[in-house]
Structures are given as structure tokens and as C-alpha cells.
Structure 1
Amino acid sequence: MSEGRRPDSISSDDLAAILESAVLAPSSHNTQPWRFEVSESGVSLFADRLRALPVNDPDDRELTISCGCALFNLRIAAAHAGFAASCELLPSPEEEDLLARVSFKRFTGSEDHEAELFQAIARRRTYRKRFEPKPVPASVLDALAEAAEAEGAWFQVLESEPDRQQVAELVAEGDASQWSNPSWRRELAAWMHPRRKGDGLTVPGMIAPVAQLVVRTFDMGNGVGAKDRQLADESPVIAALGTSGDGMADWLQAGQALARVLLTSLGQGLQASYLNQPIQVAVLRPKLQHLLGRSGFPQILLRLGYPATDLPAVPRRNLQEVVEAPGNGDSKTQQFKRR
């Protein structure tokens, strides 16, 4: 920042810490498809389409949702640091990769009510294992619905056993469809990395080549579908998160709502993972929409519950890989390189 900055300007240290929280957001295949540009006026969030999944996510819908999650983390981390983050979504139609511009203003009073979610950012995990067989209270589910609504989205729990069974069948059908596609399998295998890579789906280095070969070569849809069907059947909560529309602005909205729901659930001792196959497979999405019995578009299908064990954090890229700051000698650039 320049020497003549405003008193409420954000420091390089604060900004680096805020961005470190932003990049802890969830993303499909842990692709981390975002980049940030820092300027005197704040931060710009861009989609990194070099990290897109053209087979799994041909419209970049989930990529945009992932960036929305990162944007929400940024907002919460800013509040924790004492700043209000003002976000302008899709500010330049001619720049389709520019998803948001964010400016910061220091809080003048007790306005940092969002900061209570901050501690959950580092503890959030995508929990793919079985949950404890423990019901989630209705009051907690109501809080999650309110969290989604606060970001302009909706959160609907599938409560009846017939509805849950139908969802489980859609998940298994989605698995079968995806795994039968050699291009989808190749794309999945390409994102299976040793942990040192800093992104992707972590596989021990010694077996990574074998695992990639197996995934590329064999259609394991039936086995994976059976496992996912069982996970769905046994999950205390299956819920859909959706929006009224289905464009880029709605996807960014869905991402921020998803992040708020996930961080709110952490405060109640819950973790979550995804059963998005009925949304990813285009012919299945209307079936899920019909099952939900409401207008709007399901964007995410979640399973939630109380974790039986703690999981390690997944690998992340270094901050300097995702942040661009002006000037080779700029203090912000040096700050990011040290982190």
C-alpha cells in the first residue's frame, strides 16, 4: 500500500491472512480454481479456468460455486480482522473470469457478527466416511436453512424415507453414468496426486501411478454406486442447497450460501460431504428437482452428520501461486512469498 493510505486501509499482513483463509474453501476434486489480484482498492477474485473440469463440470458451474465459497471465507476472515468486505459480483461483463471485486473498510463498532464463523474455516473437512448414528436436532437444521437464506439460497432437507431412498438411487445412477465415460475417468485420474503437489485428490506417492491407471482403465461405477448408496442411506441428514436462478450470479450466491452452511454446521459439531452426482449428470438433475417439489435449481446435494473421527486437512497451494500483486518489489508481493 502507498504511504498515504487511508487510516482504514488494510495492512499487508492482514490481507495475506485473509487470503490464506479464502483458499481453504472447498472445491471439486480439490482443484482450487481461483486466483486473486491485489490492488490499492482491494482484491479481485478471478476464476482460474486452467483448473476447470470440462467433463465433470462442462459449464463451470461447480467451479464458480467453489469460487463463491472462497469469497465467503474471505468475507469472514476480513470480519475476524476487523474489516467489512464489500463485494461487487460480476463487475465487468466483458471480463468473464472476473467474478468479484472486494473492498475493505474497518469496522467502527460491534459490526463483526460474522467473525464468529472464522474458527470453523480451518476445521472444515469434506467428510466422506460414515457418520455417527446420531440424529441432528431440528433446531440445528433450521439454523442451516437460515444460513442459506441469509445468502439468498434455500436449504431443503429430504426427510421421508421414500425420498431418501430415491435420492440414493439417483446418486448410484449418477455414479454409473460418470464411471462409464472414459473421458470422465481420465479427468478424475489426472487430479489424483501425491500430497506434495498441493492440490487434487491425495494419493500416496508410491501407489499414485497404479491408482491412476486403475481409474482410467476400469468402469467401477457399480461398486462406487453401491458404496455411495449406502452412505446416503446411513447419513443422518441429506439436504439440497439451491437457488432461484441458474446463471453465474446464482452460482456465486450458491457458493457463499454453501460456505455459510458448512461453517455454521461446524459450530454445531457437524461435518459434511457431497453427493452431487444427480446434479452433475444433466439428465438426473430434473429428477432431483421434481423430487424436491419446489421451484428453483438444486446446486449442491449434501450429506451431514456427526463425524466419527478427525480427518487431516487436504493439501493447498502456496498463497504466492494464487495471488498476484502489483510491482516486483511491492510489500504485499513479498508478504505473500513468505507465506
Structure 2
Amino acid sequence: MTSPQIKTALEAAILAPSPHNTQPWRFEVAEDTVELFLDESRILAIADPDGREARMSCGAALFNLRMSLRSRGVPVRVELLPDRDRPALLARVRIGGHLAVASDELVLCQAIPRRRTNRGPFREERVPGSVQKTLRQAALRERGRLILLDQPARYSAVATLLRLAEFSQRQDTDFQDELVQWVAGDPARLDGVPPLASGPPPVTEPLVLLREYGSNSQKAPREYEQEPLLGVLVTHGDTSYDHLLAGQAMQRVLLAATVCEVSASFLSAAVELPSSRASLRSLLGDGAYPQVVLRFGYGYQAPGTRRRPVDEVSTCPQNQT
């Protein structure tokens, strides 16, 4: 059995977001070590063939694990990609000792179960500059960078790119066939995205198109915000190591947004299509690699998606008590 602190940390880790809620992580637990593995069987063959997004999701799970332990006064030492002969081993977390709990980390940890991907409409309310600064700083704390699109010309160009990418995926039968496999129509299913997690149909087509998970026709049409705050999380490199950094930065940003009562959702098409991602990188103009595109705003309460239990995604030695 795992210690109560480690089990609690794993329960926090599995609340990380993942594409189509695939939950592509696996943990091996020893007395003072947690190893995080990429579950390659859960990589999306069409949307994420190289596993970039899956590795980022594992990075987000790693961040939650870290925050859960540190908020309980348990220090951690993290090695990313510790064994070149086992590329699926993404991180080794060594646990031990005591530390003073930082108030900001405690607040982030408390936000983990409240974080939601909000695919519904946002209110026409601008995210203030002070909150934008908090989100940018959150990314920097994890060696990422969040570019918030505040220049009209660049905003318009990126919004157009996002629309074209989403439209392209909607016309891609292979992508749509894969997506259907992850629409969780069965309420007992523990992965995938239930149709109710999609937003209501728009009264008029919004500037930014959102991914649809099944039919949302049972919901009354609603107006979506005209110009949501758009952010692109970028890294200097584009290796597996950078993807893990990006995932941790992404999760700190999402939790910081949750603390500030700001909703967020993913606009993934532009970074899933190679041509769109290359165009987005060119539009950003500084050579950095776009890893995540996020939509921020003030929304209404969003439903959560289910998770597989800790016992299903983790193992520990038989002789451990």
C-alpha cells in the first residue's frame, strides 16, 4: 500500500487535463519514489501521433503531484527523463524530509479539484491586466512563457488560423472517427469526454470555434463572447523534455486562473495540425514553439470529467506496506 500522502498526491495527479480525457499516465510507487510513465496505449494516433500532447498531460499530472506533496510539507526532487533507455519513463520523483509550506503552493493545491475545462460561453468581461500578469508569471515559474494576444492585428491573424484549423479537423474523417471513440456517452465510463461537457450550440457562430464532443442539441443555444482572451504557451525547444516543462507550466497557469476565478478551455487544433502549428509559430515571430493555445474568460460553472481511480493507474511492490 502507498502512504496516505502519496495516495493523496496521486489522486491530485490524475485530475490533470488530457486530450479527449485520455489520461495517458501510469505511476509506479516505491517507499520514497514515484515514477511517472507515459501510457503509450493512450496516445491519440491521429490528433497526437508523436505523443507531444500526451507528454504534456503527464507533465500537468506531475505538477499536481508536486503541489500536493509540497503543500503538505513534503519536499520532492524531480528528475525528468531519468533513463534514456526507457523513454516512456518521463519522471522520477524522490520524496523525503520536511519543508515549510508556501502559501501560494497551498492555494494552488486547493484549486486542483476545482479546475475545469470550460467549453461554454464566457461573459463579455475583460480579464484585467493584473490577472493577465499573474498568468504570465505562472508560466515563467515553470520555465514556459505565456503569450497573451493583445495586439489587434496578431489577435485577428491567430483567431483566423484557429478557425481554419478547427474547420479542417471537422472535415477530417479520420480525426472525427478517433474523436467519436472518446465521446463518453456511457455515464459509467471513466475516461473520454461526455457530450454534456460540450458547450451549448451558439446562436451565431463565434469568432473562435470550440471542439464538439457529440451532439449538444439538448442544450438551449447561447451567445458566445466576441473576443475571448487568447494565450499561447510556448517553449524554447520542442523535445520530450520541453513537452514535460510545457505541461507543468500549463497546469500552473490553469490553476492560477482557477484561483482568480477565470475559466479556460483548450483550442488544440492549431497545435495538432503540423501546418497550422508551423504557421502559428511564424505568426508569434520569436522562434519559440507553441505548445498550447488557451481561451480565457469569465464563464459559468462547468461540469467535470471522470477519472480512472488511482489503483487502476498505479502499481507498487508487493512487499510494500
TM-score normalised by L of structure 2: 0.88
Superposition pairs of residues 99-248 of structure 1, within 5 angstroms = 99-110=90-101, 113-193=104-184, 194-203=186-195, 226-227=205-206, 229=208, 234-248=226-240
Alpha-carbon shift at residue 233 of structure 1 (Å): 6.7
Alpha-carbon shift at residue 144 of structure 1 (Å): 1.1
User: Partner residue of 1:35?
Assistant: 26
- Which stretch shifts more, 311-320 or 87-96? 311-320
Superposition pairs of residues 1-339 of structure 1, within 5 angstroms = 12-110=3-101, 113-193=104-184, 194-203=186-195, 226-227=205-206, 229=208, 234-307=226-299, 309-327=300-318, 330-331=320-321
Alignment partners' CA distance in 1, 2:227 and 2:56: 24
Q: Is the 8 A contact 1:28 1:62 kept in 2?
A: yes
Alpha-carbon shift at residue 288 of structure 1 (Å): 1.0
Alpha-carbon shift at residue 187 of structure 1 (Å): 0.7
Alignment partners' CA distance in 1, 2:32 and 2:4: 16
Alpha-carbon shift at residue 176 of structure 1 (Å): 2.5
Deviation string 1:290-326 (CA, Å, 9 cap, x unpaired) is 221212101000000111x212221111111101111
Alpha-carbon shift at residue 230 of structure 1 (Å): 5.7
Alpha-carbon shift at residue 66 of structure 1 (Å): 0.3
Alpha-carbon shift at residue 266 of structure 1 (Å): 1.1
Structure 1 unmatched runs, 5+ = 2-10, 205-222, 332-339
Structure 1 228/178 Cα, relative in aligned 2: closer, same or farther at 3 Å? farther
Between Structure 1 and Structure 2, the one with more helix by share is 1
Alignment partners' CA distance in 2, 1:32 and 1:228: 30
Alignment partners' CA distance in 1, 2:80 and 2:148: 28
Structure 1 66/91 Cα, relative in aligned 2: closer, same or farther at 3 Å? same
Alignment partners' CA distance in 2, 1:290 and 1:85: 38
Alpha-carbon shift at residue 181 of structure 1 (Å): 2.2
Q: Is the 8 A contact 2:70 2:101 kept in 1?
A: no
- From the CA coordinates, give the structure whose radius of gyration is larger: 1
Structure 1 305/251 Cα, relative in aligned 2: closer, same or farther at 3 Å? same
Structure 2 unmatched runs, 5+ = 197-201, 211-223
Alpha-carbon shift at residue 109 of structure 1 (Å): 3.4
Alpha-carbon shift at residue 227 of structure 1 (Å): 4.8
Structure 1 115/189 Cα, relative in aligned 2: closer, same or farther at 3 Å? same
Residue identity matched to 1:56: A
Alignment partners' CA distance in 1, 2:71 and 2:156: 41
Residue identity matched to 2:121: R
Paired positions, count: 301
Give the 3-state SS of the residue equivalent to 2:232 in structure 1. Answer: strand
Alignment partners' CA distance in 1, 2:264 and 2:227: 10
Please tell me the root mean square deviation across aligned C-alpha atoms, in Å: 2.1
Alignment partners' CA distance in 2, 1:48 and 1:61: 13
Deviation string 1:235-292 (CA, Å, 9 cap, x unpaired) is 4310100100000000000000000001111111101001121111111112111221
Give the 3-state SS of the residue equivalent to 1:19 in structure 2. Answer: helix
Alignment partners' CA distance in 2, 1:168 and 1:107: 47
Alignment partners' CA distance in 2, 1:107 and 1:235: 46
Residue identity matched to 2:142: E
Alignment partners' CA distance in 2, 1:71 and 1:230: 30
Residue identity matched to 1:298: P
Q: Is the 8 A contact 2:145 2:235 kept in 1?
A: yes
Q: Is the 8 A contact 2:264 2:297 kept in 1?
A: yes
- Which stretch shifts more, 140-149 or 100-109? 100-109
Residue identity matched to 1:68: G
Structure 1 315/96 Cα, relative in aligned 2: closer, same or farther at 3 Å? same
- Which stretch shifts more, 58-67 or 170-179? 170-179
Structure 1 187/114 Cα, relative in aligned 2: closer, same or farther at 3 Å? same
Alignment partners' CA distance in 1, 2:260 and 2:238: 30
Q: Is the 8 A contact 2:107 2:259 kept in 1?
A: no
Alpha-carbon shift at residue 112 of structure 1 (Å): 6.5
Alignment partners' CA distance in 2, 1:126 and 1:258: 13
Q: Is the 8 A contact 1:82 1:112 kept in 2?
A: no
